[in-house]
């Protein structure tokens, strides 16, 4: 056999070891070449009488990350081409057969007549795990890095290589649906308990354990191909089945508000597939997969959450020609909530940290944050005690600026006061080496203004983390007017080292993410002042696709901070820069009622010590009038939430604050949770079409006010029939700060 992606070795017992090892890739992924090679392997080994069994494994540290989704994008593009050339019916037939190839290939393996075992180390996800599921026996290593899962739902897809059907026949239906809906990565012990794998052994024993199963008489027939097979939860049309699927449908709607076609397709595939023999069930799955792959939601999510996010993580915005930064020790000035979080993620990434605050006690308190986080991970079985000790050993606390002298990068995270930050900058620059980059983790203050306190503004940059640092994936890198390529490159190298996703934005009030978030929260405030019931505001926001309502989000970021920002904005830009109704609400909440948000346990919600948060009853008393919920246009409320944010993104793009559509979209989803099914703020506009979006803006402008007036570039793009991702995509007004 001539193979590029696999090697095959048959031992004296007649067991063929098939090792997956794609050249020039750090991880195995499913591609057309890989599929062609696997088909050759199956045909050859199935026809060889000397082969008694097959073990499929990986020659890399991980088994597989799943499919290369750019392959699926290529199939979509070919479908569109054929639809124009040959007609819709011929294009659909082609598309169905192409997207079904992987499922048929795995079924060929499953029914090849030889017992097949998967020997899995490391990650085994998506289509890679579907390959393992098509094997008759699965052995998983007990390494800390080992995980199995089907995460396709997170990019708008669902398992199309047999995953929905095999999982639904391995697990009780409620467990199968939960596993498929969540797309989580499962640890070895749990995978064994659930029945997703048959054995968990030491990493260096997986291949031998798989071979031993074959030598011990492993059967070449999957359970569902044995006559008389019964699914774990029994028949769909049974008393048990009728208790499962109505509830599952209700849960699906509660969790997705029908915004995610892939989730609905999972439910339908399992429901229909369990009523059929495996080959027909796989065909049902393939039809749903082909339908979902053609959906605009899948196209948008794949582009933003797989392709664009991957490009940004690999340094798409890193300046060309700047040498890689050597970041061994990071100085963090300010050990408060944000500084402590930054220290934790930095130490977790293996770098040393010098954590400085006004006194040693404050610095130690910041370090204790890492101690508590690691203790929590140990309690949940996600880390070992020795890992905690090693991480804490990498964090050195101090109150002496001289201890920063050997740091390779400085990140300032002190109080949002220009004078305090200026003192920190001067004290730090007095001791660090001339080539060391200084970064400010400010969320509100322009970087260009802060850099005036620096003696080397070309090495001054913003690194804006989101709270809580350890959980949020996005980091905004802010370029001031004098920020140089070296500073930008160092910031990007650092963010990549801590395994977060960076977007590069130019300097402006609110930068990009906070500007859009501000528009979202403002809309919730204005709805409240219009008389919309508070619970309706929160629910409709989630119906629109946001993870939390605007009132809940405002509690998290602090209501008094919102008031402070509003007053600062008025002072800088004039009275008209802040909506008087919003300011009135903030003043009432903060100054009249002392409700600052979650931080003091009183905001738009109450936060009882025992029990879940609940809306503060007094919120309704702040409304001059109360609208009848049944008379409110829910669709318009949903549009207001999404359009307010997307329009702010469009303005940011025109102004050159964000200069890359990929960053606008990725940043909006992972930074502030903008409806993921849209693909992000600018993809939301493209998905609707610029012309339709502008018309919607004008409709909302007439009904709600000038804040919905479409910006000039957007109007121009609508007239030209352009888009943010099209060949004639608009250019931002400025390319650099």
| HSE toward the beta carbon, residue 615, CA cutoff 13 A | 16
Judged against a pLDDT cut of 60, whether residue 737 lies above it is answered with: no
Average pLDDT over residues 464-484: 96
pLDDT of residue 733 exceeding 80, the answer is no
Question: Contact 339/315 with Cβ under 8 angstroms?
Answer: no
Could you tell me the residue ranges of all domains in the chain?
A: 6-294, 329-508, 514-720
Element (H, E) at 386: helix 385-393
> pLDDT tens, 572-593?
888 888 999 999 999 999 999 9
Residue among 500, 516, 458 nearest 736 (CA): 458
**Topology annotation, domain 6-294:** 2-enoyl-CoA Hydratase; Chain A, domain 1 (3.90.226)
Nearest to 115 by CA among 211, 8, 230: 211
User: From CA 178, how far away is CA 467, in angstroms rounded?
Assistant: 28
Of 137, 198, 464, 525, which is the active-site residue? 464
Task: Grade residue 727 by pLDDT with cuts at 50, 70 and 90.
Answer: low
Tokens encoding 575: 């009275």
Place of tokens 């590029």: 4
pLDDT band at 734 (very low <50, low <70, confident <90, very high): low
- In the 8-state DSSP scheme, what is residue 657? S
- pLDDT-derived band of residue 382, with 50, 70 and 90 as boundaries? confident
- Reading the block at residue 416, the tokens are 């949002």
Start-to-end CA distance of the chain, whole Å, equals: 57
pLDDT tens per residue, range 387-435 = 999 999 999 999 999 999 999 999 999 998 899 999 999 999 999 999 9
Please say if 464 is a catalytic residue. Answer: yes
Query: Model pTM?
Result: 0.93
Per-residue pLDDT at 465: 96
User: Mean pLDDT over all residues of the chain?
Assistant: 95
Task: State the alpha helices, DSSP H only, in 632-724.
Answer: 634-654, 661-672, 681-688, 690-704, 712-720
Tell me which of 551 and 442 has the higher pLDDT.
551
Q: What is the average pLDDT across 557-564? A: 92
Could you confirm whether domain 329-508 is CATH 3.30.1490.20?
no
Q: What is the pLDDT of residues 619-661, one digit of tens each?
A: 999 999 999 999 999 999 999 999 999 999 999 999 999 999 9
Q: Look at residue 319 in the predicted model and tell me its pLDDT.
A: 96
Report the CATH number of the 514-720 domain.
Answer: 1.10.1040.50
């Amino acid at each position: 056999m001539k193979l590029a992606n696999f090697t095959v070795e048959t031992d004296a017992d007649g067991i063929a070891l098939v090792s997956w090892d794609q050249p020039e890739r750090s991880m195995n992924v499913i591609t057309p070449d890989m599929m062609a090679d696997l088909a050759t392997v199956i045909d050859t080994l199935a026809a060889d009488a000397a082969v008694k069994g097959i073990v499929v494994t990986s020659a890399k540290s991980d088994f597989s990350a799943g499919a290369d989704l750019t392959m699926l994008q290529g199939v979509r593009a070919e479908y569109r081409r054929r639809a124009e050339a040959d007609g819709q019916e011929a294009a659909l037939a082609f598309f169905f057969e192409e997207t079904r190839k992987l499922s048929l290939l795995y079924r060929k393996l499953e029914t090849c007549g030889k017992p097949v075992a998967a020997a899995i180390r490391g990650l085994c996800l998506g289509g890679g795990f579907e390959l393992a599921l098509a094997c008759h026996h699965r052995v998983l290593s007990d390494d800390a890095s080992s995980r199995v899962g089907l995460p396709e739902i997170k990019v708008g897809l669902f398992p199309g290589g047999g995953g929905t059907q095999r999982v639904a026949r391995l697990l009780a239906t409620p467990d199968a649906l939960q596993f498929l809906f969540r797309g989580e990565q499962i640890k070895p012990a749990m995978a064994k308990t659930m029945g997703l794998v048959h054995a968990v052994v030491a990493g260096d024993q997986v291949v031998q354990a798989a071979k031993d199963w074959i030598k011990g008489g492993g059967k070449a027939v999957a359970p569902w191909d044995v006559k008389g097979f019964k699914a774990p939860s029994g028949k769909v049309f049974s008393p048990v089945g009728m208790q499962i699927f109505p509830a599952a449908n209700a849960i699906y709607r509660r969790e997705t508000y029908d915004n995610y076609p892939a989730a609905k397709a999972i439910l339908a595939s399992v429901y229909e597939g369990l009523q059929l023999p495996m080959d027909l069930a796989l065909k049902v799955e393939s039809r749903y997969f082909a339908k979902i792959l053609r959906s605009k939601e899948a196209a948008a999510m794949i582009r933003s959450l797989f392709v664009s996010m991957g490009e940004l993580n690999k340094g798409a915005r890193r300046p060309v020609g700047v040498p890689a930064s050597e970041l061994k020790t990071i100085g963090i000035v300010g050990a408060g909530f944000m500084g402590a979080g930054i220290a934790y993620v930095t130490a977790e990434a293996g770098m040393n940290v010098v954590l400085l605050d006004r006194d040693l006690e404050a610095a130690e308190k910041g370090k204790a944050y890492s101690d508590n986080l690691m203790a929590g991970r140990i309690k949940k079985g996600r880390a070992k005690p020795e890992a905690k000790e090693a991480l804490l050993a990498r964090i050195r606390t101090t109150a002496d600026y001289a201890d920063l002298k050997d740091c390779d990068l400085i990140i300032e995270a002190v109080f949002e006061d220009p004078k305090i930050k200026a003192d920190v900058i001067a004290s730090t620059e007095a001791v660090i080496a001339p080539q060391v980059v200084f970064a400010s983790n400010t969320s509100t203050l322009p970087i260009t203004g802060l850099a005036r306190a620096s003696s080397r503004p070309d090495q001054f940059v913003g690194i804006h983390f989101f709270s809580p640092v350890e959980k949020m994936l996005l980091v905004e890198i802010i370029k001031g007017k004098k920020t140089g390529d070296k500073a930008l490159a160092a910031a990007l190298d650092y963010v990549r080292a801590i395994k977060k996703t960076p977007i590069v934005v130019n300097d402006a009030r609110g930068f990009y993410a906070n500007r859009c978030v501000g528009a979202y929260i403002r809309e919730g405030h204005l709805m409240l002042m219009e008389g919309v019931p508070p619970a309706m505001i929160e629910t409709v926001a989630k119906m629109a696709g946001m993870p939390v309502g605007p009132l809940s989000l405002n509690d998290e970021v602090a209501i008094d901070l919102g008031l402070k920002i509003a007053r600062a904005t008025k002072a800088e830009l004039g009275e008209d820069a802040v909506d008087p109704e919003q300011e009135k609400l903030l003043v009432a909440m903060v100054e009249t009622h002392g409700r600052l948000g979650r931080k003091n346990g009183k905001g738009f919600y109450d936060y009882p010590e025992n029990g879940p948060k609940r809306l503060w009853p007094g919120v309704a008393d702040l409304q001059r009038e109360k609208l009848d919920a049944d008379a409110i246009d829910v669709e318009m409320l949903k549009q207001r939430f999404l359009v307010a944010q997307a329009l702010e993104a469009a303005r940011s793009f025109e102004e050159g604050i964000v200069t890359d559509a990929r960053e606008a979209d990725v940043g909006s989803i992972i930074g502030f949770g903008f409806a993921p099914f849209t693909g992000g703020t600018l993809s939301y506009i493209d998905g609707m079409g610029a012309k339709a979006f502008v018309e919607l803006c004008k409709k909302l402008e007439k009904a709600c006010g000038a804040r919905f007036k479409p910006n000039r570039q957007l109007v121009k793009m609508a007239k030209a029939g352009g888009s943010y991702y099209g060949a004639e995509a608009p250019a931002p007004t400025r390319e650099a700060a």
